[in-house]
Amino acid sequence: MNGYVGRFAPSPTGPLHAGSLVAALASWLDARAHSGQWLLRIEDVDTPRTVAGADQHILQQLAACGLHPDAPPTWQSSRTAHYEAALQQVQAAGLAYPCTCSRKDIEMALALQGHTRTRHAELVYPGSCRAQVQHPMARANAWRLRTEKPPAAHLRWQDRRLGAQEQSVSQSVGDFVLRRADGCWTYQLAVVVDDAAQGISHVVRGQDLADNTARQIWLQQCLGLPTPHYLHTPLVLGADGHKLSKQNGAQALDLSEPLQALNAAAAALGWPAQTGTTGEALAAWTAMAAQAGSPVALPLAPST
């Protein structure tokens, strides 16, 4: 398939760990198995969480594993003009509005409505600022995307691994933030704008990000952008049974033995260990992924 363009998009909040290498390897294998392109994007829009030098460290780690991109990497911090243009587009269409709510404001509004709706510990925004005609611009405001503009954002899509998915964004998440009050662009906005700008046809990423998919498809529709194919890879669990992440202190990969790190990542995707060079191992897994039509060989766990 010549139109295949995939990507790996790490946040530079620390070095790659075993879990992020699984997502990197899966996206690389899927691109190679489709004879497609594989791009790298550094997602550094959440500036308070960005760690200086982590981006270069990640690029070195990927190179040590033989995962080379087909174009120079891009940095989201250099693309703010594109995010601004996208925000202006939904503002002009009446699809976004300013919100001055603090977390406490949202908690109080939900309590007045008699419930405290949350999704993954995030409060479901009750729409407090949606109907305001005149917005007080005295304090810094966030910009939220409407999810109840008819038709309400109830989305159905197919995940290549998880199967048929659906989510009512308006009920499960509420109108969500595109730009935060501190001026930072959100993950949702930056990913949607960049996936479209880079012509990404296939998104392969960790299952911890699967819950963002409906919001991203809704924003794509609001911006008139195409929706890529999605595949979410199995999570790598730590010894405590929780998913490995930079936040819970997953160790950085030791890349003095890149084949060992790759074999561990491949095992998490269900592929057998290889010997020889990293190049030979990657070629063997690429052939297997091409035959399987998926970068993941593991059957879906019944709990998901």
Q: How many CB atoms lie within 10 A of CB 207?
A: 18
Judged by CB under 5 A, the stretch of 52-60, 127-135, 220-228, 255-263 that binds Zn ion is 127-135
Q: In the complex, what is the shortest distance from the CB of residue 162 to Zn ion, in angstroms, rounded to a whole number?
A: 32
Question: What whole-number distance in Å separates Cα of residue 208 and Cα of residue 211?
Answer: 7
The yes or no reply on residue 101 touching Zn ion (CB under 5 A) is yes
**How far from each other are the two terminal CA atoms of the chain, in whole angstroms?**
30
Q: Quote the least distance from Cβ 46 to Zn ion, whole Å.
A: 21
Binding piece for Zn ion, criterion CB under 5 A, among 93-101, 152-160, 214-222, 247-255: 93-101
How many residues sit close enough to Zn ion to count as binding (CB under 5 A)?
4
**Complex with Zn ion: residue 126 or 228, whichever CB lies closer:** 126
Separation between Cα atoms, residue 195 and residue 7, nearest integer Å? 9
Q: Which residue has the tokens 């039509």?
A: 293
Residue 128 binds Zn ion (CB under 5 A):
yes
Residue-wise burial string across 214-228, b where 16 or more C-beta atoms lie within 10 A, e elsewhere: bbbbbbbebbebebb
Return phi, psi of residue 203, to 5°: -100, 120
Q: Which stretch binds Zn ion (CB under 5 A): 67-75, 91-99, 217-225, 248-256?
A: 91-99
Q: Is 289 in the site for Zn ion (CB under 5 A)?
A: no
Angle in degrees, CA 254, 46, 26, rounded to 5: 45
Taking the complex as a whole, how short is the minimal distance between the CB of residue 176 and Zn ion, in angstroms?
Answer: 12
Q: Binding Zn ion by CB under 5 A: which of 65, 129, 255, 281?
A: 129
Q: How far is the CB of 106 from Zn ion (least distance, A)?
A: 7
Would you tell me which residues interact with Zn ion (CB under 5 A)? 99, 101, 128-129
